[in-house]
Amino acid sequence: MSSKFNSLFLCMACVLFLIAAQSPSTAARRFIGVNPWCRTASHKRLCTQMAKGATTWHDASANAMKTTLELAKRIQSMSHLIKPAISFLEPQSRESILASCAEDFDITISDLEESIKALEVNDMGTLKVHLSAAYSTDCSDALAEFGVEDPLAKVSGHYLKMVDNCLAVVQQI
């Protein structure tokens, strides 16, 4: 009986494997290849999503930077998560970290907005300077200096990948 059971189990496993192989997941169906403007990006799949189907350098750059700006604003809105993480520190240290993080978030958003404006007037020097400056880790660095685990580390890491992708796209011209 156990050999019948093993054969039946093996047969069912093969059928399930064939069904799974013929119906790819939704995520796999959505990925249509690397956007031409993302070929030099370190994170090609993410870059392709950021480019949002753009067929021109300008549109790919604008889409990537606007997507990154949206995430930067979301991170800024999550800054309240820092307070509980630093609650054990002395008041002066807490104030210092909160000020560093607030300034970092404000400047990062400003740099991305300036990059988008520079793209619109085709000022490549200003675009690259501000986009490079948007690759900032001042808040994370301030937390690390005091031995605090960054509660925004995951989303901040994703943000840095996005800035890296933006820089790769704008360098294409």
Q: What is the pLDDT of residue 134?
A: 98
pLDDT above 70: percentage of residues in the chain: 82
**How high is the mean pLDDT of the chain?**
88
Average confidence (pLDDT) over 99-121: 98
- What token pair was written down for 60? 């790919």
Mean pLDDT, range 148-154, rounded to an integer: 97
For domain 32-170, the CATH class is mainly alpha
Q: By three-state DSSP, how is residue 136 classified?
A: coil
pLDDT at 75 (0 to 100) = 98
Over residues 56-93, the pLDDT tens digits come to 999 999 999 999 999 999 999 999 999 999 999 999 99
pLDDT above 90 (res 27) = no
pLDDT at 161 over 60: yes
- Asked if pLDDT for residue 112 goes beyond 50, the answer is yes
Nearest by Cα to 98 from 29, 54, 148: 148
pLDDT of residue 125: 97
Return the pLDDT at 131. 98
Tell me the two tokens of residue 99.
Answer: 């000020």
Cβ proximity of 81 and 152 under 8 Å: yes
How far apart CA 49 and CA 137 sit, in angstroms, is 24
Measure the CA–CA gap between 1 and 87, rounded to whole angstroms: 64
CB count within 10 Å of CB 134 equals 26
State the sign of the Cα–Cα–Cα–Cα dihedral 50, 53, 54, 59. Answer: negative
Q: How many CA atoms lie within 13 A of 95 on its CB side?
A: 3
What are the residue ranges spanned by the domains of the chain? 32-170
| Percent of all residues in the chain with a pLDDT value above 90, rounded to a whole number | 80
What's residue 126's pLDDT? 98
Question: Given a cut of 80, is residue 5 above it in pLDDT?
Answer: no
What is the model's pLDDT at position 4?
Answer: 52
